[in-house]
Amino acid sequence: MADALSSMPGHSIRARHEFRGIRTAEHYFTVPLMHSPGNNGATGEMITVFAREYSSTVHTEEEASRLPWLLFLQGGPGGRGNRVTSLAGWMKAAARDFRILMLDQRGTGLSTPVERQTLERRGDAAAQAEYLTHFRADSIVADAEFIRGVLGSEPWSVMGQSFGGFCALTYLSFAPEGLREVLVTGGLAPLEGPADRVYQATFKRVAARNAEYFGWYPEDREKVTRIVRHLEKTPEFLASGERLTPERFQMVGSFLGGNTRVDSLHYLLEDAFIDTLDGERLSESFLEQVRGLVSRAANPLYAVLHESIYAQGEASNWAAWRVLEDFPEFEPAAEDPLLTGEMVYPWYFEQDPSLAPLRDVAELLAARKDWKPLYDTTVLAANTVPVAAAVYKDDIYVDHDLSLETAAAVRGLQAWVTSDFHHDGIAEDGEGIFKRLLGMVRSSR
């Protein structure tokens, strides 16, 4: 059952629900598109940011209302907050002591959305690109701090996964007074330097992960090459109508980034070929599974803003595409081409119909030089907020060495380096990871 609730200016709770041991409340906040100091009463353009509150029915409503907040910042960029139907993993552990606020970062989910159709309302490509400059970590953090004020919360706890960890570092840089403690999983961003150094590191890790995977499933080495060669000479089309190219197929390497998902790659590849009247073709089952992996229709911000999360005062200039020249083993023309990771290339905006309308916007953002700083290294060097981070040794998305470089630059940050997990560690043992990190920050007081 849901009940409509009264609202106050800038904030409303439109419904509450209770099911399977979860109590939820749906929060809508009106925030400035462009934050500035003291602009809680801003009259400029405003947008909506949605957040869902989760608490456990182990607590009465009154008890839950007295629990401190834990803000969760999810991966991305452009990822909406998780929609869960039970308290499991890290959320099960967290709900014992916190109310969890699951944020739909601006532009995602039920927050004022950013999609091709909505961007058209902004005007031409230049106007759209300018609008999107307000959707990076600095703006997400400003939203969070604005929301904390609206909720009347004391400094709160923050947990950041992947890109959410990047946002947590931005929070520590520009609004540490709003933080009680910070937990980071697979998300210590490099604080300085061009995006190129990220891809120089991660291409090497993706190559090593390919080798590890093909060691487990040697038959898949031949299968991947066979699929690439097939796609070079035989047109195959996804159900949405676009052609599946060799380089788009290589994007299924996204499976390689996880403990819980990596073996699913084998199950995908075993569905690849069937015999037809026209000879050997890719099966409809395989093509449909691939479509869900290679399309950015559900999350265009991920592609459009991806390299900007590393940009500070310099243009990214399609860094992954340029660095790829140093790694010819990833080229489809290689003798046995490797599967790729999360890198974004300019051809995405030609081959993916959902991104094609944003091609000029993406080019403008890639060439943009005046990106604002995302971190303040002086503030981080003097940090007093307890921080603990899980650093995954073999992470193909957030490089271990760069993460430790950042850990050393943040005063008091405790890094737990482990080879037990990959980037999706909290999906495998979220409860254990959360408890460990929370124990680390609490023991540092």
The residues assigned a catalytic role are 162, 370, 423
d(CA 81, CA 74) in angstroms, rounded, equals 6
Residue 43 contacts residue 29 (beta carbons within 8 Å): no
How far from 106 is each of 150, 312, 351, CA to CA, in Å? 17, 20, 26
Q: Is the peptide bond before 32 cis (omega within 30 degrees of 0)?
A: no
Q: For helices 196-216 and 400-409, give the axis angle rounded to 10 degrees.
A: 140
CA-based nearest residue to 89, from 153, 18, 159, 140? 159
Q: Report residue 370 CA to chain centroid gap.
A: 23
Please tell me the number of Cα atoms within 13 Å of 298 on its side-chain side.
9
C-alpha 208, offset from chain centre: 22
